[in-house]
């Protein structure tokens, strides 16, 4: 008996869709890939950088879902900064490897599309992510000294970039260098949390920019109860008085003023510890503040002057003076203030992490707009690494500052290919991230107080001639191809 619902001999047309070809299936997979980030770095840093910042724009650039979407391009740029190579070709190769794990065909090896996508990343978007990370890292006062108050250490550094006409106009090279023989120089003044190394804010200028005006642009970083720590370049009556009005105390090196003797002091608080009064300085044309700002200053400023005796061998300086607005000698003993000032050297290590470990010392981009984006991306990655370190040591008794920054980057570089696998489950991925935290927390830098390492270079540099005039003048003979040499 025929149990089929269809009449024998008749064939009704099928109502389902026609089977798709392999090319259509591949196209759909590509479309799905475009909606995802090729790097799983977002799984490690998603709690620090919310996905709302990387959503496609409603219109204009970065509004369409392409292979180099806003999210993909951001994480590719992020990965490029994190990589030891740091080149655009490296980021494209990583994209090819990621696509090869999901599809049969891979994108082109050309970096043109990626470079165009990087240019479309808007600087305000990067600024929003930068500020979000700053707010995330503003906590973290140390309970080890100075009554648990947050200490913000400030210093400046310089970076160079490719010698292009646009970069030279924005950040000109030194006058002592001949045209075509130097590089554009930019100057950065930054504020760090001394306790955990977190970057709180920064300002960028050229070779003529001074640290003090750049610091004033970052006064909003300081909150009531903070302590400002700086070297002699920040010794200023104007700045210390204004910071004190904001509820911020200062610890800096004495400069441009003669130390006060015990006979001239208001009160002797202890050995080499004096309570003094600074008299309001006169303003001249070279002053970096306005007439109104000078008139608002008090006539005198009460300070403490502490003479620091350097007893550790290996230091060139045997003694120096520090000035502070922390007037209570019982709550803030001179020995503790001396110890805090010696910690100021850590800001040089923070800059070393950014410039040397992350290769920001010599930038790669050839236009001012891309240079700003490159610097901003380096600082975003630095903040994310610091936040990752803080998360890794949260459940341990290890101090954040004792975790190796370079070791953390090395661990992240090695973990990334395994996190980027497509066939692992979310549970397995979370397990790998927890193991990554364990690896980061295990990279502890041992404290070696009093260690002395002379600044001497053992390995000799290559004996190349110096470029002391433009290259086209140094090598006037035009380049000839192999064909031209064989057929003159």
Q: Specify the DSSP element, H or E, that contains 305.
A: strand 300-309
Whether 94 is in a domain gets the answer yes
Average pLDDT for 407-414: 86
Structure tokens at 417: 């290919």
User: What pLDDT sits at residue 5?
Assistant: 47
Within a domain: residue 65?
yes
Q: Is the model's pLDDT at 175 over the cut of 80? A: yes
Are 71 and 90 part of one and the same domain? yes
Structure token pair of residue 316: 């060139």
Q: Check pLDDT > 80 for residue 297.
A: yes
Distances in whole angstroms, Cα of residue 34 to Cα of each of 3, 77, 99, 280: 48, 16, 10, 63
Same domain, 176 and 48: no
Of residues 121 and 457, more confidence is placed in: 121
295 and 338 co-located in one domain: yes
Clarify whether residues 80 and 188 are in a common domain.
Answer: no
Per the structure, the complete domain to which residue 346 belongs is given by: 128-357
User: Is pLDDT above 60 for 436?
Assistant: yes
CA separation for the pair 152, 230 (Å, rounded) = 9
Summarize the confidence of residues 293-303 as an average pLDDT: 92
Task: Look at residue 260 in the predicted model and tell me its pLDDT.
Answer: 93
Position 365 confidence tier, pLDDT thresholds 50, 70, 90: very high
When pLDDT is cut at 50, 70 and 90, the band that residue 139 belongs to is low
Per-residue pLDDT at 54:
84
Match 């750049």 to its residue by tokens: 214
Asked, for residue 429, whether it belongs to a domain, the answer is no
- Domain boundary (71, 94, 121) is at 121
143/80 same-domain check:
no
Could you tell me if residue 49 is inside a domain?
yes
Could you tell me if 93 and 150 lie in one domain? no
**CA separation for the pair 455, 150 (Å, rounded):** 32
Residue 381: how many other CB atoms lie within 10 Å: 23
Residue 316: Cβ-neighbour burial (10 angstroms; 0-12, 13-18, 19+): exposed
Pairing mode, strands 227-229 and 151-160? parallel
115 and 157 housed in the same domain: no
Give me the pLDDT at residue 108, please.
78
Looking at the structure of the chain, the number of domains it has is 2
Domain harbouring 278, CATH code: 3.90.350
- What would the pLDDT profile of 17-75 be if each residue is shown by its tens digit? 566 665 665 556 545 444 444 556 666 777 788 888 888 877 777 777 777 888 888 98
Name the percent of the chain lying above pLDDT 70: 82
Taking 80 as the threshold, does the pLDDT of residue 131 lie above it? yes
Q: Who wins on pLDDT, 109 or 365?
A: 365
The mean predicted confidence, pLDDT, of the chain is 83
Lowest mean pLDDT among 155-164, 279-288, 313-322, 411-420: 411-420
Confidence of residue 9 (pLDDT cuts 50, 70, 90): very low
28-37, 336-345, 434-443, range with greatest mean pLDDT = 336-345
Instruction: Tell me, yes or no, whether 232 lies in a domain.
Output: yes
Q: What would the mean pLDDT of 294-319 be, rounded to a whole number?
A: 88
Give tens-digit pLDDT for 226-284.
999 999 999 999 999 999 999 999 999 999 899 999 999 999 999 999 999 999 998 88
pLDDT recorded at residue 444: 87
Order the strands of the 267-270 sheet from edge to edge: 199-205, 185-193, 151-160, 227-229, 249-253, 319-324, 300-309, 273-279, 267-270
Residue 87 domain flag: yes
Could you tell me if 94 and 157 lie in one domain? no
Domain end, chosen from 357, 392, 415, is at: 357
Asked if residue 207 and residue 114 are part of one domain, the reply reads: no
Of 248, 263, 311, 285, nearest to 452 by C-alpha is 311
pLDDT in tens, 445-485: 887 776 766 678 888 888 888 888 887 787 766 655 554 55
CA–CA dist 266, 273 (Å, integer): 11
Percent of the chain predicted with pLDDT > 90 = 42
- Residue 447 is assigned to a structural domain of this protein: no
Residue 430 lies in a domain: no
**Are 249 and 232 part of one and the same domain?**
yes
Backbone angles phi, psi at 30, to 5 degrees: -65, -40
Q: Are residues 184 and 135 in the same domain?
A: yes
Question: What is the predicted pLDDT for the residue at 351?
Answer: 95
Pick from 306, 334, 357: which residue ends a domain?
A: 357
What pLDDT sits at residue 11?
45
Q: What is the pLDDT of residues 184-242, one digit of tens each?
A: 999 999 999 998 899 999 999 998 888 999 999 999 999 999 999 999 999 999 999 99
Q: Are residues 185 and 306 in the same domain?
A: yes
Task: Give the pLDDT band of residue 487 (cuts 50, 70, 90).
Answer: low
């Amino acid at each position: 008996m025929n149990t089929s619902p269809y009449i024998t001999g008749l064939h009704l047309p099928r109502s389902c869709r026609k089977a798709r070809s392999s090319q259509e299936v591949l196209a759909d997979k590509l479309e799905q890939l475009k909606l995802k980030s090729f790097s799983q770095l977002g799984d490690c840093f998603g709690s620090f950088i919310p996905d709302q910042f990387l959503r496609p724009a409603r219109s204009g650039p970065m509004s369409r879902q392409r292979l180099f979407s806003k999210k993909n391009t951001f994480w590719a740029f992020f990965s490029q900064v994190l990589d030891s190579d740091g080149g655009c070709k490296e980021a494209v190769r990583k994209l090819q490897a990621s696509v090869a794990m999901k599809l049969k065909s891979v994108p082109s090896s050309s970096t043109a599309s990626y470079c165009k996508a990087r240019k479309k990343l808007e600087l305000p978007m990067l600024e929003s992510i930068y500020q979000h990370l700053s707010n995330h890292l503003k906590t973290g006062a140390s309970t080890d000294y100075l009554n648990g108050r947050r200490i913000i250490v400030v210093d400046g550094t310089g970076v160079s970039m490719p010698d292009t006409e646009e970069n030279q106009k924005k950040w000109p090279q030194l006058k002592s260098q001949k045209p075509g023989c130097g590089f554009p120089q930019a100057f950065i003044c930054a504020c760090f949390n001394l306790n955990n190394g977190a970057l709180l804010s920064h300002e960028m200028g050229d070779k003529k920019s001074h640290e003090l005006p750049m610091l004033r642009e970052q006064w909003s970083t300081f909150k009531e109860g903070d302590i400002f720590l700086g070297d002699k370049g920040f010794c200023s009556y104007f700045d210390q008085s204004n910071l004190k009005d904001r509820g911020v105390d200062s610890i800096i090196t004495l400069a441009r003023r003669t130390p006060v003797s015990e006979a001239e002091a208001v009160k002797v608080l202890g050995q080499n510890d004096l309570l003094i009064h600074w008299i309001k300085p006169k303003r001249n044309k070279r002053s970096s503040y306005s007439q109104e700002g000078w008139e608002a200053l008090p006539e005198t400023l009460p300070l403490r002057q502490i003479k620091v005796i350097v007893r550790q061998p290996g230091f060139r300086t045997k003694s120096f003076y520090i000035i502070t607005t922390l007037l209570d000698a019982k709550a803030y003993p001179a020995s503790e203030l001396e110890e805090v000032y010696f910690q100021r050297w850590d800001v040089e290590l923070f800059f070393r992490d950014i410039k040397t470990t992350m290769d920001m010392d010599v930038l790669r981009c050839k236009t001012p707009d891309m240079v700003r984006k490159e610097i901003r991306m380096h600082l975003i990655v630095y903040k994310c690494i610091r936040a990752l370190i803080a998360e890794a040591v949260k459940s341990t008794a290890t101090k954040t500052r004792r975790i190796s920054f370079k070791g953390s980057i090395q661990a992240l570089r090695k973990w990334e290919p395994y996190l980027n696998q497509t066939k692992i489950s979310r549970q397995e991925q979370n397990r790998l991230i927890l193991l990554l935290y364990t690896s980061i927390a295990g990279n502890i830098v041992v404290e070696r107080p009093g260690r002395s390492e002379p600044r001497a270079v053992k390995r000799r540099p290559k004996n190349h001639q110096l470029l002391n005039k433009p290259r086209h003048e140094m090598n006037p003979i035009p380049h000839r191809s192999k064909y031209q040499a064989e057929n003159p």
